[in-house]
Structure 1
Amino acid sequence: MPVVYLLRRNTASIEKTRTTLEEADWQLGGCSESLQDALAEIAVRMPDIVACDLRLNDGHAMLVAHELGQLPVRPQLLLLSPNVDDLQLFAALCAGANAYHVDVGTGLTDALTALHQRRANLSPLMARQALAAFGVERSPLALASQMAAAKDQSAAGRQIDQAARHLLSLLAHGLLTSEVAQAWQITQMEVEQRIWRIVRLLHVRSRELQIV
């Protein structure tokens, strides 16, 4: 079972999450309310996943993503936010976070399992933001929905291929990952793994912009 480190705003959130993980037999690799204390512990304990509130008392998840990127072995970062449309979510994904979970009291272990399997999701708003970040237009729905769209590896821009563009377009149109899977005749897991890889490309794009 993957090791999870909790970085949350307060003790109540930590204890509630700790109970959820213990009931599901997840291994807890530490917890903290302090970003500075957490960074030192994470470097030593090397968890597989860091589950982190989008906003912390002494920092922000974008800083967490940056600091984790400096480690020799970087854990995956799961953002916890009560609101899927928080504009800072996309910024943190670009900065190095791998996925997000809408923290409404349920579903955390499913989100952790998905991330461990390198699966992710994007809301319609974030899919539109990703298209804009990559500098490509949304594909027409009829084109993106075709089975052939899933296999189009021709370039759509500097960072992504047409298949990724079509996937982001379908998500931007509001399709669920299960609906994309049905249209493309592939598994939902593969769709979610493709989204995870697109988020990784956002990290690359962000680093290139910093270099420029």
Structure 2
Amino acid sequence: MTRVVVVDDQTLVRQGIRSLLEVAEVEVVGEADDGLAALDIIMVAMPDVILLDLRMPRYDGIWTLERLQERGIETPVLVLTTFNDDDLVLKALRAGARGYLLKDVTVEQLTGAVRTLADGGTLIAPSITDRLLRAIRSGPSPAAAATAQELTERELEVMRLVAEGYSNREIAGALFLAEGTVKNHVSTILLKLDARDRTNAVLRALHEGILR
């Protein structure tokens, strides 16, 4: 069973998310009403995924993402918020979030996103994807062609599937490769794109025109 920690300043929202997830056999192993409380709970509970609201009155979601990075906590974070704001989306992704959903999603979409992140994938709400791409596609940088040439054809195939939210296991199945080989390709891609994680690699690849 996938294990999650829910971070939201509204008690009713946390309780509602817990009820919905547990029906879908996703276990809520901790709750917090701000980022500071969340850090302590996450260190103890060691969840598979963190569900994080962004706008909280004291220690907000961006603060939490930055502290998680500072502490080297690599648990994937799924932002779950009511704020459909381009700048906030980009700020959250750059701070390390692996997924971004709005709170109007269905239970199936939420549980699917949780499992995608737990399996190593990424997911951004379709309703904001087009705007996000326009925001980060300010045109290829002068180094785009050189960067694209540095990626082998196989690495480009892997990169495209990473951008679609595939986990390493799913990429291995799609390309008929060993999962360990896929992990090696992803590590090489991160190195070549100077990206700290898969989401950052996708952002860089889109910005530089490697992915269309």
- Give the TM-score normalised by the residue count of structure 2: 0.63
Q: Using the alignment, how far apart are the partners of 2:26 and 2:39 within structure 1?
A: 21
For residues 98 and 135 of structure 2, what CA distance do their matches in structure 1 show? 16
Alignment of 1:129 onto 2:135: yes
Partner of 2:94, secondary structure, is helix
Structure 1 match to 2:42: 42
- The one-letter amino acid of 2:134's match is R
Amino acid at match of 1:155: T
CA distance 1:55–1:158, change in 2 (3 Å): farther
Query: What does residue range 60-209 of structure 1 map to in structure 2 within 5 Å?
Result: 60-106=60-106, 107-122=109-124, 123-132=129-138, 136=140, 155-156=147-148, 163=156, 198-201=198-201
For residues 73 and 87 of structure 2, the distance between their equivalents in structure 1, rounded to whole angstroms, comes to: 28
Letter in 2 for 1:127: L
Note the C-alpha offset of 1:12.
0.8
Aligned-pair identity in percent equals 23
* Aligned mates of 2:86, 2:53 — CA distance in 1: 12
SS at match of 2:47: coil
SS at match of 1:50: strand
Give the TM-score taking structure 1 as reference length. Answer: 0.63
Q: Which one-letter code corresponds to 1:200 in the other structure?
A: N
Q: Which moved more, 1:117-126 or 1:11-20?
A: 117-126
For residues 95 and 204 of structure 2, the distance between their equivalents in structure 1, rounded to whole angstroms, comes to 9
Cα distance in 1 between the residues matched to 2:84 and 2:120: 20
Secondary structure in structure 2 of the residue aligned to 1:69: helix
Give the letter for the 2:48 counterpart.
D
Q: How many residues align?
A: 165
RMSD of Structure 2 on Structure 1 (CA): 3.8
> 5+ unaligned residues in a row in structure 2: which ranges?
166-173, 176-185, 190-196, 206-212
- In structure 1, the residue matched to 2:33 is 33
For residue 200 of structure 1, report the CA deviation from its aligned partner.
3.3
Cα separation, partners in 2 of 1:121 and 1:34, compared to 1, 3 Å: closer
Which residue type is aligned with residue 5 of structure 2?
Answer: Y
